[in-house]
């Protein structure tokens, strides 16, 4: 079955306790919104945040933005109730933090199903602990509901006792392992957040690095990060024009019984046509979102 192409260039976190941010998000140019019940919510605000988030997720007021609820872990006092409430709200996905095993995913899936989550409610997994990264393949393969890995680079840097650096060498192995596992099992893989809101150049550089590494998009903490992210992770007009040229040239070559062709002096084979087709499909999907 062909998977629907869904732009996930920009996915913005907002604290579940911040009703104003969730209201504002209805008009923001984000491909996805993570309504957070975990780290951005203080313990004494967890239950109120759960009620706000689930009411918003069920409201149908977020247009075609993908809605994801990040629940607390199953080893916390709130995790199970969060999952039950989130499942009833039927968001696009429920995001489980600090995933370290297939068993955790299956436990969450069992709770979701018992609470009436429809088959379209996906499971997203935060990859953010050393053990979780080492188990990335097991987690990716754990359930057909698993649709996306989200890198939690803040927790990861903490657990690795590493440091946040410009080129992110301390976490590059972890990013690569999750990309490998995610791609092997057909998942979306989203890059982690950039914490320095004052450093706009550094932020753009981290988006470009994420794109080059193979991420589908980036998770964000502030609306000001949306526009540069959407731009970096979308195929440019030039990319799309070139992709269309490649597709046409290859079709013409095939009609003449050839399996390869040169475009602008460069060899084009079937794999380049596949890349070109996915760029055009992504550009069309982005266009459709804005109509
Ligand atoms: C970082 C912030 C606390 C800053 O908030 P604030 O001081 O309100 O910023 P501004 O005054 O610049 O805000 C301008 C307007 O934009 C709205 N706003 C701000 N942030 C968001 C947002 N995330 N979503 C939607 N709207 C937002 C403000 O309400 C202002 O609107 P208005 O009043 O109408 O002008 C804040 O940005 C924030 O809370 N960000 C999210 C933090 C968060 O969710 N953190 C947890 C997730 S990150 C993580 O856990 C990663 C992972 O687990 C790991 O381990 O790596
Ligand atoms: Mg985290």
pTM for this prediction: 0.97
Q: What CATH architecture does domain 10-233 belong to? A: Alpha-Beta Barrel (3.20)
Q: pLDDT category, 1, cuts 50, 70, 90?
A: very low
CA of 251 to the centre of ligand 1 (A): 48
Cβ count within 10 A of residue 226: 18
pLDDT digits (tens, 9 = 90+) for 153-166: 999 999 999 999 99
Tokens matching residue 205: 């550089």
Q: How far apart are CA 148 and CA 215, in angstroms?
A: 11
Pocket probe mutation, ligand 1, options 10, 11, 12, 13, max atoms within 8 Å of Cβ:
13
For 233-258, the pLDDT digits (tens) are 999 999 999 999 999 999 999 999 99
ipTM of the complex model: 0.98
Q: Which of 168, 203, 218, 221 to mutate to test the pocket of ligand 1 (most atoms within 8 A of CB)?
A: 221
- Give the distance (Å) from ligand 1 centre to CA of residue 220: 9
3-state secondary structure of 281: helix
Cβ 125 vs Cβ 139: under 8 Å:
yes
For ligand 1, whether the C-beta of 154 sits within 6 Å is yes
Domains of the chain, residue spans: 10-233, 237-290
């Amino acid at each position: 079955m062909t998977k629907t192409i869904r732009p996930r260039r920009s996915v913005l976190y907002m604290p579940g306790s911040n009703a104003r941010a969730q209201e504002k998000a209805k008009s923001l140019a984000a491909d996805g919104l993570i309504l957070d019940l975990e780290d951005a919510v203080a313990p004494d605000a967890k239950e109120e945040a759960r009620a706000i988030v689930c009411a918003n997720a069920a409201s149908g007021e977020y247009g075609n933005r993908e809605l994801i609820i990040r629940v607390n872990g199953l080893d916390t006092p709130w995790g199970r109730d969060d999952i039950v409430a989130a499942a009833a709200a039927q968001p696009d996905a429920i995001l489980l933090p600090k995933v370290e095993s297939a068993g955790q995913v299956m436990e969450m899936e069992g709770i979701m199903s018992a609470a009436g989550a429809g088959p379209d409610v996906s499971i997203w997994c935060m990859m953010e602990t050393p053990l979780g990264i080492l188990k990335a393949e097991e987690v990716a393969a754990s359930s057909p509901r698993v649709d996306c890995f989200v890198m939690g680079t803040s927790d990861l840097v903490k657990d690795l006792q590493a440091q946040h650096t410009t080129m992110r060498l301390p976490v590059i192995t972890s990013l690569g392992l999750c990309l490998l596992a995610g791609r092997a099992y057909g998942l979306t893989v989203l890059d982690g957040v950039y914490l320095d809101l004052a450093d706009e150049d550094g932020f753009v550089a981290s988006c470009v690095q994420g794109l080059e590494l193979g991420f589908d998009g980036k998770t964000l903490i502030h609306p000001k990060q949306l526009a540069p992210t959407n731009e970096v992770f979308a195929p440019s007009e030039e990319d799309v024009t070139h992709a269309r040229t490649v597709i046409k040239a290859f079709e013409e070559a095939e009609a003449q019984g050839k399996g390869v062709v040169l475009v602008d002096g460069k060899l084009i084979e079937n794999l380049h046509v596949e890349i070109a087709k996915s760029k055009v499909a992504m550009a069309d999907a982005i266009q459709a979102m804005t109509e």
